[in-house]
């Protein structure tokens, strides 16, 4: 906001007078009142512009009263208004006048729509910081009190969010009042208000004096944690984290733990879920000693809770919990007190539980070290890799790298390879996709021979998958493999198989050949591209299916930069011209595109431009294949550029 | 990837000579649709019976109630009630079959007994009965199996313990309906806490359970006068939470159905509390995403209110206009339906108050590109009563809708809509030919004026923006170059 307000505050009054008369408030207000919501919304979003035009004085005396009175608008307009007003202090004359913004925001904080109210509260919190302590007590605190005693729940709900911002800077007497108001909202008749109070309890506790926390916040916390509605009780669990952070170990034990223990065994699964969900925060807040005595047993219970939701939430926290245990005795503790429960969860009846566990279980290997991982965790990983639920398998696969660090890829691949091969043919395409994405890493670690023997056929099989995303990923995968294993390998193992597909009866397979060529040509270099790939592409220009033909055009455009002048001139150009006369509109279009790109290319090769850093042709911009190159790269023979381009993108 | 399909007439298209060889003719659909075979895996059931204890005493069948002398009847009754308070695990369908059967038989007998035998319900059995009911029905509902459960699309998750639960509900209902039932005795046990827990059960995904709950809550509302205000208040809390905090509650339709009959019984004049409920709860309830699930019941409640007190009409209609759906055409059709229901009962004096904003909205609906919305809006003109209201107020209504109708009649893509609009325009012509002619004549002028205004607006904002930039850059610029050229246009815009 400083950017907008800065100059205006200094010069507003002086600089404003000259123009103000030009913008009668009526005209601006007319805009804000326009019948069309969209126009009204546009005007509100430019409210700061209007205020700037009016100058600070008239903004205060004319614009704000108008805004306060027209609170009955569409929620969308009100939302924009609430947001704008949070940044308005400079436009009304700086901090001394910040209180002028309170009336419209007060009304906005009482409307029905939650989004608007929340935004108004946010803006009020922002503005509260700009008030002087005197103004805060004279204007802001009374507003909070009015909201807190409003007759509809909306205003009382909004009030809950404002206590913590005005408390620290209030005088002792006022502080007492503020606490009093907060107390009464915590036992409000309406559950909505109690929920709002419970959700702000932690935040409020943080700004209170320690004595008041113990004497006032703790009883409120205890009450809310045993509210008749579970939606209130579960919010108290969140507050528990903040409150425990403020108290000494003894006080936590005496004042917080009884309630927390009760929450961990609440009859409503939502409350227990919350405990599981906030477990790491709770663990940090209560410290290691209480964790060992109280939280670990509670956690064990949550891991075998009767509701799957709770178990899943707890399973998510396994790694963090273990990480945060004190180093001393950590391994034994995990092995004896946590691992037995994890073993149970691996064969849980619910897939969400298993999948939650699978997403973190791999992280334990770094905590437990190589030996434990091989002996205890690896069997669990293997079991999960064979799980019937694809999500579980997927989560294991996508986290393999953390285990990799601990036990090494050899060990990993030998024990996991059969499972991986099986997953490569998984019925869920997302699982297959995850495996494909993992392939370059595996290939790099395993070496060419091992790869050719075990995995190569998989990579080729993906090219004819029935899901496009898999074929696409398989194409990219080939490119990455070629980058790893080199062109010779490509020429011997990959390229022939790809090119054979050009004669496939299925046009989608034929197109895959083209896509592969697009991806591989750069990595394979000029020779292979010209001698092996280009003839196939050219041959396919006579395909019966238009889709294949226009992809031929696109491919020719793509591989153009890799080919030399002769090939372009004598082989590519005639075929493109032929395609340019095609009966199909799309083929024609893409052929034209390619023709102009190739023409550019030919011109450039004929007249090398020494100082150009980039192909300057407008058509070439569209061709993402032509990345920005280093100076001079363009001028030399194509071979140089091709070799360079083997570097990863 | 290009989605273009190969031309259907592939074989006839001449293949380019010189470019050979040509692959054999294609199958159009290259791949089998393996992925379509999509069996959604059912998650294993989760238990709703958190308090289920596995090692419990075995149930043994007790003598039948009808076989014991009257003196022993109540002693046996309370033993049977205790037996029915034992809970069984229904997720494991073969566990403890004998016990389940004993309890089922006992429940059946209780249902029979409380429904037909007079003199059974004496004071001492009340606490036992309520305890048995509470133990069975009150439970924390399990998490939904499907977090994005859509009541219209998805199969509900049925309560596994229904074989027992149904009998308990049936028993509860007959207990409440028994001629011997004494609310003055029962109110000690059926208290606010009991009602609160009963209301929480309305979130059950099982429609059979909600159906029972609906009838039961209705009876409770009828018999316990002291709980009425409390029930209404708690219902409105449920609605408010549903509207503003957590858009998930399965029993909204059922609760509204009960409320419909409650509203029906409100005494006149309506209390402020009730009016507030209409304006601050029922109207905002229209904004909820899943409106279609409970719209019929909601509209019924609203119309009930209006039939009680016509002065609320303006509030209601303005409220509906405020929450009018912006993107969801399905909801828009529902709103139009409800609006017609309201217009069916509107008093002419109330109609006058809202006719202009209302018909501007109707006109917007007519211009909707979704033909069902346009069609639904145009059906208003088939309604005799609405037509008579329009006729009486044609000097206001016609100008409000004419421009849009005229424009849409030329532009709408759907022929049915166009012909419907022609009918409406014809009706207008017959209604007031002179006004119609005037509006037709001024239509073009208005269009031009609109464009002019849009231009002026753009210039105004441009000027403001320039001014803002200058102000940001420094104080000098703005002072030296006042934006005089804006003045005439600004005043011109202000007048119109």
Chain A residue nearest residue B244, CA to CA:
A114
C-beta atoms of A584 and B7 within 8 A: yes
pLDDT at B348 over 50: yes
Contacting residues for B26 by C-beta, under 8 A, at least 6 apart: A505, A506, A507, A544, A545, B6, B10
Q: Is A291 exposed, middle or buried (0-12, 13-18, 19+ CB in 10 A)?
A: buried
Q: With beta carbons under 8 A apart, name residues in chain A contacting B471.
A: 7-8, 11, 15, 52
For chain A, the distance separating the N- and C-terminal CA atoms, rounded to the nearest angstrom, is 40
Residue A578 at interface with chain B, using a CB cutoff of 8 Å: yes
HEC readout, chain B: CCCCCCCCCHHHCCCCCCCCCCCCCCCCCCCCCHHHCCCCCCCCCCCCCCCCCCCCCCCCCCCCHHHCCHHHHHHHHHHHHHHHCCCCCCCCCCCCHHHHHHHHHHHHHHHHHHHHCCCCCCCCHHHHHHHHHHHHHCCCCCCCCCCCCCCCCCCCCCCCCHHHHHHHHHHHHHHHHCCCCCHHHHCCCCCHHHHHHHHHHHHCCCHHHHHHHHHHHHHHHHHCHHHHHHHHHHHHHHHHHHHHCCCCCCCHHHHHHHHHHHHHCCCCCCCHHHHHHHHHHHCHHHHCCCHHHCHHHHHHHHHHHHHHCHHHHHHHHHHHHHCCCCCCHHHHHHHHHHHHHHHHHCCHHHHHHHHHHHHHHHHHHHCCCCHHHHHHHHHHHHCHHHHHHHHHCHHHHHHHHHHHHHHHHHHCCCHHHHHHHHHHHHHHHHHCHHHHHHHHHHHHHHHHHHHHHHHHHHHHHHHHHHHHHHHHHCHHHHHHCCCCCHHHHHHHHHHC
Q: With beta carbons under 8 A apart, name residues in chain A contacting B26.
A: 505-507, 544-545
- What pLDDT is stored for residue B25 in this prediction? 41
Please tell me which residue, A470 or A631, carries the higher pLDDT value.
Answer: A470
Tally of CB atoms within 10 A around A180: 12
C-beta atoms of A507 and B280 within 8 A: no
Section A137-156 average pLDDT? 92
Section A463-489 average pLDDT? 88
Contacting residues for B307 by C-beta, under 8 A, at least 6 apart: B345
C-beta atoms of B494 and A586 within 8 A: no
pLDDT band at B474 (very low <50, low <70, confident <90, very high): low
Q: With beta carbons under 8 A apart, name residues in chain A contacting B288.
A: none
Chain B residue nearest residue A309, CA to CA:
B143
- What pLDDT is stored for residue A23 in this prediction? 61
C-beta atoms of A190 and B237 within 8 A: yes
CA distance B226 to B189: 13
Considering chain B, what percentage of its residues have pLDDT values greater than 70? Answer: 82
Residue A24 at interface with chain B, using a CB cutoff of 8 Å: yes
**What average pLDDT does chain A have?**
81
Mutate to test the interface with A, among B8, B40, B143 (most CBs of A within 10 A): B143
- What pLDDT is stored for residue A10 in this prediction? 36
pLDDT at B312 over 90: yes
Q: With beta carbons under 8 A apart, name residues in chain B contacting A158.
A: none
Token code pair at residue B9: 């007439």
Q: What is the pLDDT of residues B46-86, one digit of tens each?
A: 444 444 444 456 777 777 777 777 777 888 888 888 888 88
pLDDT at A620 over 60: no
Work out the minimum CA distance from B64 to partner chain A, whole angstroms.
36
pTM above 0.90, yes or no: no
Residue A25 at interface with chain B, using a CB cutoff of 8 Å: no
Work out the minimum CA distance from B78 to partner chain A, whole angstroms.
27
Nearest to B472 among A7, A24, A389 (CB): A7
CA distance B358 to B348: 14
Q: With beta carbons under 8 A apart, name residues in chain A contacting B41.
A: 351, 389
CA distance A455 to A450: 8
Q: What is the pLDDT of residues B190-226, one digit of tens each?
A: 999 999 999 999 999 899 999 999 999 999 999 999 9
Section A423-444 average pLDDT? 81
Q: What is the pLDDT of residues A598-609, one digit of tens each?
A: 888 777 766 554
pLDDT at B13 over 70: no
Q: Do A475 and A467 contact (CB within 8 A), yes or no?
A: no
pLDDT at B487 over 60: no
pLDDT band at A519 (very low <50, low <70, confident <90, very high): confident
- What pLDDT is stored for residue A378 in this prediction? 83
Section A545-556 average pLDDT? 90
pLDDT at B280 over 70: yes
- What pLDDT is stored for residue A22 in this prediction? 54
CA distance B422 to B428: 10
Residue A541 at interface with chain B, using a CB cutoff of 8 Å: yes
For chains A and B, CB pairs below 8 A equal 189
CA distance A534 to A572: 9
Chain A residue nearest residue B143, CA to CA:
A309
Task: Tell me A99's DSSP state.
Answer: G
Q: What is the pLDDT of residues B104-142, one digit of tens each?
A: 888 888 888 887 777 778 888 889 899 999 999 998 888
Average the pLDDT over each of A79-93, B321-335, B344-358 and give the range with the smallest value: A79-93
Residue A333 at interface with chain B, using a CB cutoff of 8 Å: no
pLDDT band at B384 (very low <50, low <70, confident <90, very high): very high
- What pLDDT is stored for residue A178 in this prediction? 92
Residue A474 at interface with chain B, using a CB cutoff of 8 Å: no
- What pLDDT is stored for residue B51 in this prediction? 45
Q: With beta carbons under 8 A apart, name residues in chain B contacting A467.
A: 35
Q: Do A533 and A566 contact (CB within 8 A), yes or no?
A: no
pLDDT at A544 over 60: yes
Q: Do B435 and B398 contact (CB within 8 A), yes or no?
A: yes
pLDDT band at A611 (very low <50, low <70, confident <90, very high): very low
- What pLDDT is stored for residue B284 in this prediction? 92
pLDDT at B351 over 80: yes
Residue with tokens 């990595």: A523
Task: Tell me A161's DSSP state.
Answer: T
C-beta atoms of B19 and A11 within 8 A: no
Q: What is the pLDDT of residues B153-174, one digit of tens each?
A: 778 888 888 988 999 999 999 9
Considering chain A, what percentage of its residues have pLDDT values greater than 70? Answer: 87
Work out the minimum CA distance from B109 to partner chain A, whole angstroms.
31
Q: With beta carbons under 8 A apart, name residues in chain B contacting A31.
A: 457, 460
pLDDT at A483 over 90: no
pLDDT band at A291 (very low <50, low <70, confident <90, very high): confident
Backbone φ and ψ for B308, nearest 5 degrees, come out as -75, -45
Nearest to A546 among B6, B246, B467 (CB): B6
Average the pLDDT over each of A6-15, A272-281, A552-561, B420-429 and give the range with the smallest value: A6-15
pLDDT band at B20 (very low <50, low <70, confident <90, very high): very low
- What pLDDT is stored for residue B154 in this prediction? 76
**DSSP sequence for A450-479:** HHHHHTHHHHHHHTT-SSHHHHHHHHHHHH
Nearest to A11 among B35, B143, B475 (CB): B475
Mutate to test the interface with A, among B18, B24, B46 (most CBs of A within 10 A): B46
- What pLDDT is stored for residue B402 in this prediction? 85
Nearest to A152 among B50, B280, B490 (CB): B280
pLDDT at A542 over 90: no
Residue A7 at interface with chain B, using a CB cutoff of 8 Å: yes
C-beta atoms of B460 and A31 within 8 A: yes
Please tell me which residue, A210 or A444, carries the higher pLDDT value.
Answer: A210
C-beta atoms of A50 and B464 within 8 A: yes
**What average pLDDT does chain B have?**
80
Cis-peptide into B269, omega within 30 deg: yes
Q: Do A159 and A117 contact (CB within 8 A), yes or no?
A: no
Residue A190 at interface with chain B, using a CB cutoff of 8 Å: yes
Considering chain A, what percentage of its residues have pLDDT values greater than 90? Answer: 17
Section A295-313 average pLDDT? 89
- What pLDDT is stored for residue B223 in this prediction? 92
C-beta atoms of A192 and B241 within 8 A: yes
Mutate to test the interface with A, among B8, B9, B16 (most CBs of A within 10 A): B16
Work out the minimum CA distance from B290 to partner chain A, whole angstroms.
17
Q: Do A175 and A204 contact (CB within 8 A), yes or no?
A: no
- What pLDDT is stored for residue A119 in this prediction? 94
Please tell me which residue, A454 or A644, carries the higher pLDDT value.
Answer: A454
Section B445-460 average pLDDT? 85
Chain A residue nearest residue B472, CA to CA:
A7
- What pLDDT is stored for residue A572 in this prediction? 86
- What pLDDT is stored for residue A558 in this prediction? 86
Section A199-212 average pLDDT? 90
* C-alpha closest to that of A437 among A450, A457, A419, A423: A423
pLDDT band at B296 (very low <50, low <70, confident <90, very high): very high
- What pLDDT is stored for residue A605 in this prediction? 66
pLDDT band at A57 (very low <50, low <70, confident <90, very high): confident
């Amino acid at each position: 906001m400083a950017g907008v307000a800065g100059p205006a505050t200094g010069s507003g009054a002086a600089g404003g007078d000259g123009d103000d008369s030009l913008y009668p408030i009526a005209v601006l207000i007319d805009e804000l009142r326009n019948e069309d919501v969209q126009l009204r919304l546009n005007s509100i979003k430019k409210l700061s512009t209007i205020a700037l035009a009016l100058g600070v004085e008239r903004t205060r005396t004319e614009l704000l009263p108008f805004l306060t009175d027209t609170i009955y608008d569409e929620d969308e307009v009100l939302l924009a208004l609430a947001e704008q007003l949070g940044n308005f202090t400079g436009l009304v004359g700086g901090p001394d006048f910040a209180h002028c913004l309170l009336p419209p925001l007060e009304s906005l904080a009482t409307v029905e729509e939650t989004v608007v109210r929340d935004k108004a509260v946010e803006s009020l919190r922002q503005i509260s910081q700009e008030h002087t302590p005197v103004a805060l007590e004279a204007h802001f605190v009374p507003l909070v009190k009015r909201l807190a005693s409003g007759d509809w729940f909306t205003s009382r709900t909004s009030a809950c969010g404002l206590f913590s911002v005005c408390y620290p800077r209030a005088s002792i007497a006022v502080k007492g009042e503020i606490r009093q108001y907060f107390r009464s909202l915590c036992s409000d008749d309406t559950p909505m208000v109690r929920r709002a109070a419970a959700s702000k309890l932690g935040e409020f506790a943080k700004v209170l004096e320690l004595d008041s926390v113990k004497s006032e916040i703790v009883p409120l916390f205890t009450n809310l944690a045993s509210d008749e509605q579970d939606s209130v009780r579960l919010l108290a669990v969140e507050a528990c984290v903040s409150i425990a952070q403020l108290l000494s170990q003894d006080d936590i034990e005496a004042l917080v733990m009884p309630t927390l223990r009760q929450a961990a065994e609440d009859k409503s699964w939502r409350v227990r879920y919350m405990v599981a969900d906030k477990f790491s925060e709770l663990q940090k807040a209560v410290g290691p000693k209480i964790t060992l005595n109280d939280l670990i047993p509670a956690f064990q219970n949550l891991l075998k809770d009767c509701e799957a939701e709770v178990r899943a939430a707890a399973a998510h926290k396994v790694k963090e919990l273990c990480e945060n245990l004190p180093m001393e005795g950590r391994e034994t503790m995990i092995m004896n007190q946590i691992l037995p429960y994890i073993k149970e969860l691996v064969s849980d009846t619910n897939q969400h539980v298993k999948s939650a566990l699978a997403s973190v279980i791999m992280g334990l290997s770094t905590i437990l070290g190589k030996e434990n991982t091989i002996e205890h965790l690896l069997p669990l990983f293997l079991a999960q890799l064979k799980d019937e639920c694809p999500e579980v398998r997927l989560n294991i696969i996508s986290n393999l790298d953390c285990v990799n660090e601990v036990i090494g890829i050899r060990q990993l691949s030998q024990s996991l390879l059969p499972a991986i091969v099986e997953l490569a043919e998984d019925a869920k395409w997302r699982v297959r996709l995850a495996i494909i994405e993992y392939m370059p890493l595996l290939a790099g670690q395993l070496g060419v021979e091992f790869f050719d023997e075990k995995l190569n056929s998989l990579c080729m099989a993906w090219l004819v998958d029935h899901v496009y995303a898999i074929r696409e990923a398989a194409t990219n995968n080939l490119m990455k493999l070629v980058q790893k294993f080199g062109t010779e390998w490509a020429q011997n193992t990959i390229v022939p198989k790809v090119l054979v597909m050009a004669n496939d009866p299925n046009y989608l397979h034929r197109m895959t050949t083209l896509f592969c060529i697009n991806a591989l040509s750069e990595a394979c270099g000029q020779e292979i591209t010209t001698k092996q790939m280009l003839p196939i592409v050219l041959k396919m220009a006579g395909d019966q299916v238009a889709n294949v033909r226009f992809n031929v055009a696109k491919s020719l455009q793509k591989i153009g930069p890799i080919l030399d002048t002769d090939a372009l001139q004598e082989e590519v150009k005639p075929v493109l011209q032929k395609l340019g006369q095609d009966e199909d509109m799309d083929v024609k279009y893409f052929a034209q595109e390619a023709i102009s790109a190739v023409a550019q290319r030919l011109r450039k090769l004929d007249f090398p431009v020494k100082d150009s850093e980039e192909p300057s042709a407008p058509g070439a911009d569209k061709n993402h294949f032509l990345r920005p190159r280093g100076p001079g790269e363009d001028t030399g023979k194509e071979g140089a550029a091709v070799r360079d381009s083997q570097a990863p993108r | 990837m290009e989605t273009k399909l190969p031309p259907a007439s592939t074989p006839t298209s001449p293949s380019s000579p010189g470019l050979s060889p040509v692959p054999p003719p294609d199958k159009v659909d290259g791949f089998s649709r393996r992925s379509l075979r999509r069996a959604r895996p059912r998650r294993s059931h989760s238990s709703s019976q958190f308090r289920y204890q596995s090692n419990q005493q075995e149930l043994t069948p007790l003598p039948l109630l009808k076989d014991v002398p009257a003196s022993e009847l109540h002693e046996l009754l309370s033993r049977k009630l205790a037996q029915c308070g034992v809970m069984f695990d229904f997720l494991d369908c073969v566990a403890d079959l004998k016990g389940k059967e004993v309890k089922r038989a006992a429940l059946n007998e209780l249902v029979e007994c409380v429904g037909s035998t007079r003199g059974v319900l004496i004071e001492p059995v009340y606490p036992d009965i309520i305890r048995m009911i509470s133990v069975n029905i009150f439970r924390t509902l399990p998490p939904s199996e499907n977090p994005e459960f859509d009541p219209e699309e998805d199969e509900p998750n049925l309560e596994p313990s229904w074989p027992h639960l149904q009998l308990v509900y049936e028993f509860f209902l007959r207990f409440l309906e028994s001629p011997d039932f004494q609310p003055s005795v029962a109110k000690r046990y059926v208290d606010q806490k009991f009602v609160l827990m009963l209301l929480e059960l309305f979130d059950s995904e099982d429609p059979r359970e909600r159906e029972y709950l609906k009838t039961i809550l209705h009876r409770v509302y009828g018999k316990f006068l002291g709980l009425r205000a409390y029930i209404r208040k708690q219902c409105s809390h449920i609605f408010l939470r549903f509207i503003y905090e957590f858009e998930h509650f399965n029993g909204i339709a059922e609760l509204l159905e009960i409320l419909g009959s409650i509203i029906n019984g409100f005494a006149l004049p309506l209390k402020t509390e009730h009016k507030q409920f209409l304006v601050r709860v029922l109207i905002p309830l229209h904004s909820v995403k899943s409106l279609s699930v409970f719209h019929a019941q909601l509209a019924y409640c609203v119309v009930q209110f209006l039939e009680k007190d016509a002065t609320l009409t303006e509030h209601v209609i303005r409220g509906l206009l405020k929450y009018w759906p912006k993107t969801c055409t399905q909801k828009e059709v529902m709103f139009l339906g409800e609006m017609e229901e309201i217009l069916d009962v509107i008093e002419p004096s109330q109609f006058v108050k809202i006719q202009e904003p209302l018909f501007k909205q109707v006109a917007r609906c007519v211009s909707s590109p979704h033909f069902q919305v346009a069609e639904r809006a145009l059906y208003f003109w088939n309604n005799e009563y609405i037509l008579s209201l329009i006729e009486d107020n044609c000097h206001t209504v016609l100008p409000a809708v004419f421009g849009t109708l005229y424009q849409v009649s030329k532009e709408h893509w759907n022929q049915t809509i166009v012909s419907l609009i022609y009918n409406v325009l014809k009706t207008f012509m017959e209604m007031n030919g002179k006004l119609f002619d005037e509006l037709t004549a001024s239509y073009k002028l208005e269009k031009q004026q609109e464009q002019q205004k849009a231009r002026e607006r753009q210039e105004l904002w441009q000027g403001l923006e320039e001014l803002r930039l200058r102000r940001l850059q420094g104080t000098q610029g703005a002072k030296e170059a006042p934006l005089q050229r804006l003045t005439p246009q600004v005043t011109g815009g202000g007048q119109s």
